[in-house]
Amino acid sequence: MSENRIKIKGAHQLELVGTHDENFKIIEAAFDVQLILRGDEVQIKGDDDSVGKAGKVLTELRFLLERNRSLGKRDVETVVDLINLNGSDVPSKSITREKQDILLYGKKQLIRPKTEGQKRYIQSVLDQDIVFCIGPAGTGKTYLAVAIALALLKEKKVTKIVLTRPAIEAGESLGYLPGDLMEKVDPYLRPLTDALFDMLPSDQLQKYVDHKVIEIVPLGYMRGRTMNNAFVILDEAQNATPMQMKMFLTRLGVSSKAVATGDITQTDLPETTQSGLMQIQEVLKGIDGIGFVYMDKTDVVRHRLVKEIIAAYETFHQNGSKKGN
């Protein structure tokens, strides 16, 4: 059994402890320690490692209080999660800086940018009304867009999320697939639902879907609609035709954001059909409020071999083009 004491200012005692000791209970449950407030200090009891982590949490929370003059349950959970992920050796006050990168609390982990490219992407989405993110598989283009959308929904900056994809892949057509409409489109929209399931409890996701707060629809069914106060995501945008891309972008209503993600090296459109994502780079170039973010193999966050596979294909195509010349 180990013990440590953390000094706190009297004016911050109630905020630090929380209503009905809520903040202390979160810390105690996370690290299996006992917190006792005595005068102007908190006594921490538990094993050595747990006492160290709990002490680090209290130190960071005290700093937050001094800077922000308030402390919420989410702040406490954020700091606790960061200490759990990084250990008690996190540099003092670095948590507050790192906290600014957090997008969302997923079911299993904190969701935050992991590369410089991802940071640029997130900042562009927050700053611009329309963002096109172009890059290879595994760079988190769609996953981060969904996380940003959910974060803005929770902050009530948007009231609706719409996720869409062109219903074309590997030469298949919806008409040739068995089942009703939803059974036909499910394989195409599954990557979007997978991201949502990773970030939301299933009951909450079902509630959002039932109340049309979150909609997942094929791109063709967006025609004729106007999206107000919405966050609209077009995934696999390289498979949208120029007309579909124009249709998608003109759905945007008041107080809405749109993100289109895609990999221009993996289009499934017929050779005679131009990709709307390729064309749009020239059409909308230089327009204020529209951003283009480009990812590359350095932003891949999947298995290490994915990065090497992408590099190998790049080398192969470069060598092939040289031979052709």
Q: Residue 262: which pLDDT band, with cuts at 50, 70 and 90? A: very high
Q: Residue 64: which pLDDT band, with cuts at 50, 70 and 90? A: confident
Structure confidence by residue, pLDDT tens digits, 104-130: 656 656 677 888 899 999 999 999 999
Predicted local distance difference test score (pLDDT) of residue 181: 39
Rounded CA-CA distance 39/13 in Å is: 9
5 Cβ neighbours under 8 A, 6+ residues apart: 41, 42, 43, 44
| pLDDT surpassing 70 at residue 202 | yes
Rounded CA-CA distance 170/261 in Å is: 18
The per-residue b/e assignment along 105-130, b for 16 or more CB within 10 angstroms, e otherwise, is: bbeeebbbbebebbebbbebbeebeb
Lowest average pLDDT, out of 19-23, 98-102, 242-246, goes to: 98-102
pTM: 0.65
Predicted local distance difference test score (pLDDT) of residue 278: 94
Predicted local distance difference test score (pLDDT) of residue 319: 74
Which residue's structure tokens are 């990812």? Answer: 295
Mean pLDDT of the region 296-308? 74
Structure confidence by residue, pLDDT tens digits, 203-221: 888 899 889 999 988 888 8
Mean pLDDT of the region 79-83? 79
Provide, for the chain, the percentages of residues in helix, strand and coil under a 3-state DSSP scheme, each rounded to the nearest 5: 50, 20, 30
Cα torsion 8, 11, 15, 19 to 10°: value is 110
Q: Name 261's bridge partners.
A: 133
Structure confidence by residue, pLDDT tens digits, 128-182: 999 999 999 889 999 999 999 998 998 889 999 999 988 764 334 444 444 443 4
Residue of higher predicted confidence among 65 and 251? 251
Predicted local distance difference test score (pLDDT) of residue 302: 63
Task: Name the residue type at position 294.
Answer: Y
Residue of higher predicted confidence among 187 and 164? 164
Predicted local distance difference test score (pLDDT) of residue 166: 87
Q: Name 294's bridge partners.
A: 134
47-52: long-range pairs with CB below 8 Å, 24+: 47/1, 47/2, 48/2, 49/88, 51/2, 51/3, 51/4, 52/4, 52/88
Predicted local distance difference test score (pLDDT) of residue 188: 61
Rounded CA-CA distance 221/288 in Å is: 28
Residue of higher predicted confidence among 43 and 9? 43
Tokens representing 262 are 């895609």
Residue of higher predicted confidence among 116 and 232? 232
Asked if residue 124 lies in contact with residue 293, where contact means CB atoms within 8 angstroms, the answer is: yes
Counting residues of the chain whose pLDDT is more than 90, the rounded percentage is 33
Q: Residue 21: which pLDDT band, with cuts at 50, 70 and 90? A: confident
Asked if residue 235 lies in contact with residue 142, where contact means CB atoms within 8 angstroms, the answer is: yes
Alpha helices by DSSP H, listed for the chain, are 13-17, 22-31, 48-68, 73-86, 94-99, 116-127, 141-154, 181-199, 202-210, 242-249, 276-283, 304-324
* Of 51, 16, 11, 12, residue with least CA distance to 30: 51
Predicted local distance difference test score (pLDDT) of residue 216: 86
Predicted local distance difference test score (pLDDT) of residue 321: 53
Return the HEC string of 39-81: CCEEEEEECHHHHHHHHHHHHHHHHHHHHHCCCCHHHHHHHHH
Predicted local distance difference test score (pLDDT) of residue 206: 86
Mean pLDDT of the region 94-110? 57
Alpha-carbon distances, residue 15 vs 6, 22, 34 (angstroms):
15, 10, 18
| pLDDT surpassing 80 at residue 75 | no
